[in-house]
Structure 1
Amino acid sequence: MIQIETAWLLLLPVMFGIGWLAARWDLRLENRMDERERMRQQRSTFKGLSLLLNEQPDQAIETLVKIAQLDPETIELHFSLGNLFRRRGETERAIRVHQHLANRDDLKPRDRDHAAYELGRDFLRAGLLDRAEASLNRVGHGKFAAPAKESLLEMYQVERDWKKAIIAASELESLQGKSHHTEIAQFYCELAQESLHAKDLASAERSIKEALQVVPNHTRALILQGDYLMALEQPAQAIDAWSVVATSHPAFMHLIADRWMKAHTDIGKSEAGLDRLCELLNTQASGELLDVVHKQVMQIRGIQAANTMLSQVMQHSPSLSALSKLAETRLALEEGNANPDRVQELKSILHLLRQRTTSLARYTCGNCGFRARRFYWQCPGCNNWEAYSPRRSEGVAPSGPSM
């Protein structure tokens, strides 16, 4: 018995050694299989890229999707390729790539949200707004929720769907933790503007109240409130609304100066209305307000009063616009004196001044530098709201487009 037990004891190290060798062999086989799998994935990746380069996108996408099934880390490759296609203007290819990912059920929620967001951007680029909206609304509450809402907000503004824009901006406020009150107030003003054009005064009143609730004493909302009261044939109340603009936002009075004068005329107080506008010229003499005041003074008080008013403006706020109006007034005076030489001289001066002021007078966006002859609440260049200065400049902008 003792000899048998000793033999078994001698065999134990041999058995352990064989087991160790077998384990090592299995590990080597497993490593070889992993290496073969990696090589196969690499070959599939290169095959997919080769198909892309050879203008075979469908086969390439199928190959890359198979790689994604085997190795989820390659999903980032799909996103990179889709974004590359979109930047190159190959929107259909980008849609194919992102649509394959968005429709997969085996992806992580974060990757599905990412795919839905990118697909929505693809549809936006292609002008397929309904599909873009559906795709962006599929994005959950993760990392891509705020970018998706931003894209939806941009799309709703393009579509001029102001009610949906208000909802998107409100949701974006809660996601980002920052205020979008300026945009929301402007959206309500757009709704009010549309209602006034459609003569739906009840809807216009509601939208104006909502805008003023979001931003108290909002300039555009006050202007529209006056327009609403004028539509109700209540000029005195309209003057009250616009008086807040004259006091709190005098730089915007040029936008309503004509309507201001009409309201005062309707109640028989045109002189009082003109006096208030003339007072504003002490600080707001540049731009369109001067044009309106000059026209009204000429009509109500005569040429000599306009000449005196412009001479005063040239003393405290000289500008090419004021000089042009002064030349126009002096020309009217000289035409009454029947002095042909003086009249011809003033006509030449006035012609040159008008050319110069027409080519230089522009409103300029403070965000992108876009310049335009008329005032915009939303910049046509960068789409930012309330980015335009209400003051019309006469200098040459250093950069930025114009229209």
Structure 2
Amino acid sequence: MEFDFSLLLLALPLVFVLGWLASRMDLRQLRMENRQAPKAYFKGLNFLLNEQQDQAIDAFIEAVQNDPDTSELHFALGNLFRRRGEYERAVRVHQHLLSRGDLVADDRHRAQHALALDYLKAGLLDRAEEALLKLEGTRFEAQARLALLANYERSRDWEHAAGVAKKLEAAGQGSFAGRLAHYLCEQAAALVVAHKLEEASALLQQAIATAPHTPRPRMDMAALQRQQGLQQQACATLAEAMQQAPAATPLIAPLLAAAAIAAQSIAPALALLKTRYEDGSSIDVLDAIVTLEAANGDSALTARQWYARHLEKEPSLVAAAKWIAGEKLEHEQFHPQVQRALDHAVKPLTRYRCAACGFEAKRHFWQCPGCQAWDSYPALRVEEL
């Protein structure tokens, strides 16, 4: 049977027409999609860049409604809700993502991490813990552990915090020895309140072994020893703390002075503090020297002379106020008013300031109340920074 080429010639225009119609339909669909989701998405992005979050949220909601299967739009919308403090709406968005059966594993882990952040921001610590624990073995594991650590610290769950810190250290995320020592000190403090002094002492010994150059464990141990009437041992512990952590000398000096007076062992403590004062002229060390000199009864220099010597070394308004407090002024009737004005002026200078966030406080903190950073407070007063 011979092939009829006339049929082929008739079919070619038909194939061309069908191809043209199919291409037009594809272009029409593409234009329709571009008219819907991308347009709303880029509009929302523009609002976001212009810091118009309300309009950005409306645009992203419109984009999600036009293309409900796009996970990226859901993530953008959930993050916007969290940034605005609308944690319930953020939770609903991320829970919706987790409920989708077509979500790939990586996006599922990402949604789980976002949900955990929603709970953390909302203060729902138990739900945040549950969500973070599900991220073990994922690419968000390190971030989840850091968030979990902050969660346990916030709830003062020191045992679980220690467990997470050890995992982070084992994974090469840095040294957590200082934090682990603080956790042990916090647990010891709770035991002291419960009058379990032997158990508290054991934890403090463990803290000293964990972080030998951290001053807090020895300072807390000295306080415990003084509570048990072991004044001489407390002096030795504080002297050792000063040797291991010289930067903490201004914090240790007042404690050493009090322990030395109680132990009637003033001379060794006085000699040590004078040496430390020459190495770094801190007002707290000077105050401890003045206290010990007064308790000794045979001081070579009076308190006023000590503060005058300090002023020769450092232009200190705090030392000037202490010096003038013991001086007899020419117009003595105005002395109380002058002293009151000076004391008021030096108050801000005697505070401690967090090196991480700048939060100032009257007393020294091991963990900043503002930013929750550990060991961020220098031992020096604001005037000495």
Q: Using the alignment, how far apart are the partners of 2:200 and 2:19 within structure 1? A: 79
Tell me if the contact between 1:102 and 1:115 (Cα under 8 Å) persists in the aligned partners. yes
Change (3 A) 1:106 1:311: same
CA contact (8 A) 1:330 1:346 kept: no
Pair 1:99 & 2:88 matched: no
- Helix, strand or coil for the counterpart of 1:394? helix
Question: Aligned-pair distance for 1:14?
Answer: 4.6
Give the conservation status (yes or no) of the 8 Å contact 1:188–1:210. yes
SS at match of 2:346: helix
Deviations 1:173-224 (A, max 9, x none): 3445422333233222222233233332233234323323332232111212
Matching of residue 324 in structure 1 with residue 294 in structure 2: no
Unpaired runs of at least 5, structure 2:
45-52
Q: Which runs of 5+ in 1 are unaligned?
A: 335-340, 398-403
Aligned to 2:78: 82
Report matched runs for 1:2-17 at 5 Å: 4=1, 7-8=2-3, 10=4, 14=7
2:153 is matched by which residue type in structure 1?
A: Q
How far residue 325 of structure 1 moved from its aligned partner, in angstroms, is 1.7
The separation in 2 between residues aligned to 1:298 and 1:394, in whole angstroms, is: 25
Task: Give the alignment of 1:344-359 within 5 angstroms.
Answer: 344-359=333-348
Any conservation in 1 of the 2:110–2:140 contact (CA below 8 Å)?
A: yes
1:345, CA displacement in angstroms? Answer: 5.0
* Residues 257 and 291 in structure 2, CA contact (< 8 A), matched pair in contact too: no
Q: How does 1:171-190 map to 2 (within 5 A)?
A: 171-175=167-171, 177-190=173-186
Q: Structure 2: which amino acid aligns with 1:208?
A: L
Aligned length in residues: 373
Separation in structure 2 between the aligned mates of residue 15 and residue 296 of structure 1, nearest angstrom: 115
Is the Cα contact below 8 Å between 2:242 and 2:252 reproduced in 1?
no
Letter in 2 for 1:171: K
Match of 2:226 among 224, 230, 238: 230
Equivalent in the alignment of 2:240: 244
Report 1:251-266 matches (<5 A). Answer: 251-266=247-262
Residue of 268, 278, 285 corresponding to 1:289: 285
Structure 1 residue 362 displacement after superposition: 2.6
Map 1:158-237 to 2 at 5 A.
158-175=154-171, 177-237=173-233
Residue type at the aligned position of 1:83: N
Amino acid at match of 1:222: R
Query: Cα 1:39–1:297, aligned 2, differ >3 Å: closer, same or farther?
Result: same
Please identify, of 377-386 and 120-129, the stretch whose mean Cα deviation from structure 2 is larger. Answer: 377-386
- On the 8 A contact 1:82/1:97 being kept in 2, the answer is yes
Give the AA of the match of 1:324.
A
Q: Which of these two proteins has the greater Rg computed from alpha carbons?
A: 1
Structure 1 CA distance, aligned partners of 2:274 and 2:188?
Answer: 30
- Separation of aligned partners in 1, 2:200 and 2:131: 33
Tell me which residue corresponds to 1:305: 302
Pairing partner for 1:367 from 356, 368, 372: 356
CA distance in structure 2 between the aligned counterparts of 1:351 and 1:301, rounded to whole angstroms: 29
Identity of aligned residues (%): 29
TM-score normalised by L of structure 2? 0.80
Structure 2 distance, partners of 1:383, 1:320, is 31
1:258-303 Cα offsets, whole Å, 9 max, x none, are 4323432343323433343344332444333333433443344279
1:351-401 per-position Cα deviation (integer Å, ceiling 9, x unaligned): 332122113333222223333322121223322211221111327x9xxxx
Alignment of 1:124-143 (within 5 A): 124-143=120-139
Q: Is the 8 A contact 2:235 2:260 kept in 1?
A: yes
Deviations 1:300-357 (Å, cap 9, x if unpaired)?
42796323333333333442222222222235xx8xxxxxx55435444433321221
TM-aligned CA distance change 1:27 to 1:144, over 3 Å: farther
Once residues 154 and 36 of structure 2 are traced to their aligned partners in structure 1, the CA distance between those partners, rounded to angstroms, is 45
State the alpha-carbon separation in 1 of the partners of residues 103 and 313 from structure 2.
Answer: 70
Aligned to 1:148: 144
For residue 327 of structure 2, give the secondary structure of its aligned residue in structure 1. helix
